A and B are shown apart, each in its own frame.
Chain A
Amino acid sequence: MTKPHRGRIQAQGENLEESVTWAQDEPLSKKDGLKLLELLKSKLSKKELKNREKQFKQAQRFIENVQDGANAPSTISFKNLKTKKERIDIEVWCGTAFGIFLLLFIIWYLIG
């Protein structure tokens, strides 16, 4: 059965197309989003990483700071404007990602 929360983080470039995906029953947390970003980094060579250094930082900052999460359908792109193709794309295909769901659940649980 298709999972309700799905998406992909992708590193694009002239000779590169690496990605990591998620598909799960609960929204992707910020923590797991950051882990996926690190996993994507680990798939790139030093040079490929260097060409996207700023874009990875921007993607990290986005995941850390986005309020209320990113709801589908969403594509968030961080492109190196000084190069032709180098960029990082975050795609939320279904559901929600990067919210503070656990914290809200704990507050709801404590109040309840």
Chain B
Amino acid sequence: MGQVLYATFLENRRVYRLAKARWQRLFEQLLSAKQYTFRPFLNEKRMDGNPMFTAYVRDVDRAVRIIQLDPSEAVSELEIGAWLDEALMPEREDQVMELVIGLVMTKEAEQISQLLIEAWLLQELSLADMEKKIDELVVIDEEVSGV
């Protein structure tokens, strides 16, 4: 596995805050090109990485949830998964879709995340095209899992 970034985020609150700040910066950088703004939409007070970061972008009415996984539980070289779900937004009666990314934070996983977030929020791919993009970028070996 590549070098894990913020490897001690679950043991050290300072490291946790640094990891969270990295996601904040990434979103600011990505969304500034279109002058989009974002806000958290879930309770992020727990410091367990699940979620590490959430963003609702009103300009496109879409959301992103980042789950940062415990590196000690990693079983493969690159630990990343992504899926689409309905965002939990109790104040809304209609459906807001979210891109969820779960990863062990390495440079490579971060780069894939960035591509997925760009496709979801900036290119505004349809749900079907986003599923294809996830399949393209996040390789699943179901043979290994026995499913």
Contacts and interface: CB of A to CB of B under 8 A. Distances in A.
B23 interface: no
B66 to A, nearest CB: 11
Interface in A67-87: 67-68, 70-87
Interface in B95-146: 100, 102, 140-142, 144-145
Contacts of B83: 79, 84-85, 87
Chain B binding surface SS class: loop
A34 to B, nearest CB: 18
Interface residues of B, number: 28
A86 B147 contact: yes
A82 B79 CA distance: 9
Nearest to A85: B83
A82 B90 contact: no
A72 B90 contact: yes
Interface stretch (B1-9, B11-19, B29-37, B46-54): B46-54
B42 interface: yes
A64 to B, nearest CB: 13
Contacts of B50: 62, 76-78
A61 B88 CA distance: 22
Nearest to B79: A81
B43 A74 contact: yes
B42 A73 contact: yes
B55 interface: no
B142 A83 contact: yes
B80 interface: yes
A73 to B, nearest CB: 5
Contacts of A89: 85
Contact of B88 (A62, A68, A81, A91): A91
6 contacts: A71-B45, A72-B43, A82-B75, A82-B76, A82-B140, A91-B88
Given A73-B43, A74-B42, A83-B140, 14 more contacts: A70-B46, A71-B45, A72-B90, A73-B89, A73-B90, A75-B88, A77-B100, A79-B102, A81-B76, A81-B79, A82-B142, A82-B145, A83-B147, A84-B142
Interface of A: 51, 62, 66-68, 70-87, 89, 91-94
